[in-house]
Chains A and B, each alone.
Chain A
Amino acid sequence: MDALLIPFLDATIRTATPLAYAALGEVVTERSGVINIGLEGIIIAGCLGGLIAAGAGGPTVGFLGGALAGLLMAALFALFVLRLKADAIITGTALTLLGLGLTGTVYRGVFGLEGAALGTPSIAPIALPGLSSLPLVGPVFFTQTVMTYLLYLLVPLLAWWLARTHTGLALRAIGESRTAAHAAGIAVDRIRWGAILFGGVMGGLCGATLVLGQVGTFTEGMSAGRGFIAIAIVVLGRWRVVGTALAALLFGGAFALQYLLQAVGWALPYQLFLALPYLLTLVMLAALRGRAEAPAELASHEG
């Protein structure tokens, strides 16, 4: 039993990690009352940024490169939505298309037709001394990459920040009522800039983690809808930090299930397994009707 269960749970955590980064970034953005559906474009930019930077200076530089790529994409989004008052949905869609197209072009320009070498620097799982020898929990939770461990710290920190700092309160207030927040003397646009850029950095880290911690190389369109899945995760997580982290685990599980089902040798077409996370997204969004807990300002798309 363990022979199947442990690899399944391990794969769940591993695939959930990049999803959680993107989704937590989107939680912060959406709590400020802006929906960035350009997350897909940010993630793919983070993938390529991570690959190029890692090639130049190793994995750590790679993650910085991924974060920077995401930041720049998000800055573009914020510029259009906050400064130029463009529609957030249209801008987000454009950002996704731009990210997918631009990364393909840059990739071919940099690496030529043969593509990147498979020897991309990557990060290996680290077994935490002591904790990793716990039965079941050890190999699943404490034999992961450093990005997963950072997430263990980030989730409580982010939850605390939103609930227990004035800036966190201001951010939530803007998402509920921009006018009321403005009347309280809060610099609405400055905080929204911050929230969108944070979302960009997290989306970029998601991409870099995909490349450096999971796949080991870059392929065009490798984000494969994770940006949209992350947005669904935020809805499933009810716009809360801990809820979103748990929802990311569920979707990680859906990705991991395809490995498990293939391993036990179900004679189903593999395309069906591949479609599983996306089907789950649709089912979850349909099941969670009503947006009672959504930040009220999300309903009005004027950024």
Chain B
Amino acid sequence: MSTEPVGVDPRDQEALALEGITVRFGSVTALEGAHCTIRRGTVHAILGENGAGKSTLMRAAFGWLTPDAGTIRVHGAPVRFQSSADAIAQGIGMVHQHFMLIPAMTVTENIALGGQGRFDASTTAARIAEVARKTGLPVDPTARVRDLAISAQQRVEIIKALVREAQILILDEPTAVLTPDQATELLRWVRSFADAGGTVALITHKLREAFTVADYITVLRQGRTVVSAARLALSESHVIEALTGTGTGTGVTPASVEASTVGPTIRIADLATERRMVDHIADAPVLRLDGVSYVDARGVTRLRAVDLAIHPGEILGVIGVEGSGPRELLRILAGRLAPTSGRVTRPDAVGFVPEDRLHDAVIPTFSLTENLALAEGGHARGWMDWSRWWGVTRDLLATADVRAVGPDIPMATLSGGNQQRFVMARERRRATAALIVENPTRGLDLNASARILADLRTFGGNPRPAVVFHSTDLDEVLSVATRVVVCFDGHVAEVQSPLDPNDRTPYTRAMTGSDGAGDVISAERR
């Protein structure tokens, strides 16, 4: 595998160079001599699975942490960052995966943070408006961040960096929180920013993104740089091999990863037929919503008179942009949210896998046994039969293939993929009627995502339970679901499978309301 950049254009100049970066956290080595040279005016994708060290490397570049060894150069001059303030002064801006915004404050206040002297809101707002106009990223400077959609918050983060005159932007998994259309829009913006002379380091685990937008690709695996080359010099299969490492014994070959997550075209074709077939074998519905509406605590209507029937054995994929209702729809089906009006018919045996597993589904400091017992012992009284729970947990670990030392270890010590498998397995135990799953692959790497999606597809039982799941990744939904519904502005409608199984337009159109609406949005941004 090549570690030397290939196809270097001599006119390219180095904007940010990282060499021999080593970072240790106690006894754990997060980075071991990682390197990467990012050239001015280019988009440089940093690829790697979870825990490969992508974010750590970029945090070192942003002065968020000081590497134990290695050198960092900005525009050719060696630098030593004491804090992120030093990196900001050098023209580096970073948009973290979890936004560093203060929800209670306005856009202006958030952007002014870190300045000196008097704080004049109107001057800052004018500056924001100017940057927004020049870069084509619309924001309302007076809005409170908590009232903004995720995509708007992301624009605030980018503008925050640009207002401080950042020439080098580090974006950490920026599309993870966006819909396909928003992601396309952002990547287009990233491209134009680089074409205008800016520099972008794009951290991602999505191959397609790297190959669509990047000029250079660096692949990290287990804290080391395994590939760093011009995109044109690389093939997808080469990069997948570098990402996963062949023969690592994960039981998932790169080929199956490609089929399920990276290139879902073949599966979609199969499933399109399957989707139509399942409709015929449908029994009486297991879950039913009749005229269900939901108004949230802030008075915003999230669902409008939704009628929906879900049948045993079907896998219902829910698509829709953030805030348009999928979250509320799933939580009402799961019994976690009471509708404002309307009727919900649901059995007790419904499992629920929330999006934020570590916060909403488990207690990280409790052992696996305790976490299992907690979820199922809700109605029980009296003594805990711990030895029985211990045995149940051990069996569950084996059957669900959760990689854990044993039932006694704390939940927090499991990897993200194993945590998700544990929660899924736990919810499956009680989900004899239906299983509701929110964003099942959020924060998971390629291998772990592929396994979770395979689990959803093969979810069995007698009678076969229904599965309802929402994902922000349209490909994921299409590769698993037997039926697809879309949420738009609180309305829920079924999307008919197109005749051409590779045609994604009916879905993306449905998510933006109509074909016209999408054009209006993109026109406004230009």
Contacts and interface: CB of A to CB of B under 8 A. Distances in A.
A164 B100 CA distance: 22
Contacts of A296: 103-104
Given A185-B114, A186-B114, A164 B64 contact: no
Contact of A180 (B102, B117, B118): B102
A170 to B, nearest CB: 7
A166 B118 contact: yes
Interface stretch (B82-90, B174-182, B244-252, B370-378): B82-90
Contacts of B96: 183
Nearest to B84: A185
A184 interface: yes
Interface string B62-85: 001000000000000000000111
B100 A180 contact: yes
A169 B113 contact: yes
Contacts of B104: 176, 296
Contacts of A182: 84
B84 A165 contact: no
B119 A183 contact: no
Contacts of B112: 166, 169
A180 B110 CA distance: 9
Nearest to A166: B115
A172 B114 CA distance: 12
A172 B100 contact: no
B64 A183 contact: yes
Contacts of B215: none
Of B85, B88, B102, B112, most A-chain CB atoms within 10 Å: B102
A164 B105 contact: no
Contacts of A166: 112, 114-119
Contact of B119 (A164, A176, A186): A164
Contacts of A183: 64, 84, 94, 96, 100
Contact of A185 (B88, B102, B119): B88
A186 B114 CA distance: 5
B100 A186 contact: no
A58 to B, nearest CB: 37
Interface residues of B, number: 25
Given A168-B119, A176-B102, A185 B109 contact: no
A172 B116 CA distance: 14
Contacts of A158: none
Interface in A185-202: 185-187
A262 interface: no
B436 interface: no
Contacts of A177: 100-102
A127 B64 CA distance: 57
A170 B117 contact: no
Contacts of A181: 102, 113
B9 interface: no
Of A177, A185, A186, most B-chain CB atoms within 10 Å: A185
Contacts of A168: 119
A173 interface: yes
A179 interface: yes
A187 B105 CA distance: 19
A185 B100 CA distance: 11
Contacts, number: 65
A41 B334 CA distance: 51
B524 interface: no
Contacts of B100: 177, 179-180, 183-184
Contacts of A186: 85, 113-114
B120 interface: yes
Of A168, A176, A183, most B-chain CB atoms within 10 Å: A183
Contacts of A172: 105, 109
A188 to B, nearest CB: 10
B84 A164 contact: no
Contacts of B117: 165-166
A193 B150 CA distance: 34
B119 A169 contact: yes
A164 B83 contact: no
Contacts of B116: 166
Contacts of B120: 164
Interface in A149-163: 163
A165 B119 contact: yes
B85 A185 contact: yes
Contact of A176 (B84, B85, B105, B115): B105
Given A180-B100, A185-B83, A185-B88, A173 B119 contact: no
Contacts of A176: 102-105
B94 to A, nearest CB: 8
A296 B146 CA distance: 13
A262 to B, nearest CB: 45
A88 to B, nearest CB: 21
A179 B97 CA distance: 13
Of B64, B103, B114, B115, most A-chain CB atoms within 10 Å: B114
Interface in A121-168: 163-166, 168
B111 to A, nearest CB: 9
A173 B118 contact: no
A180 B113 CA distance: 9
A78 to B, nearest CB: 20
Interface string B116-137: 1111100000000000000000
A168 B260 CA distance: 51
A209 to B, nearest CB: 31
Nearest to B113: A184
A126 B136 CA distance: 61
A184 B93 CA distance: 10
B146 to A, nearest CB: 11
Given A166-B119, A183-B94, A185-B114, 8 more contacts: A164-B118, A166-B112, A166-B118, A172-B109, A173-B105, A180-B110, A180-B113, A185-B88
The 6 A-B residue pairs whose C-beta atoms are closest, nearest first, are A185-B85, A184-B114, A183-B100, A184-B113, A180-B100, A166-B115
28 contacts: A163-B119, A164-B118, A164-B119, A165-B119, A166-B115, A166-B116, A166-B117, A169-B109, A169-B113, A169-B115, A170-B114, A172-B105, A173-B113, A180-B110, A181-B102, A181-B113, A183-B84, A183-B94, A183-B100, A184-B84, A184-B114, A185-B88, A186-B85, A186-B113, A186-B114, A187-B83, A296-B103, A296-B104
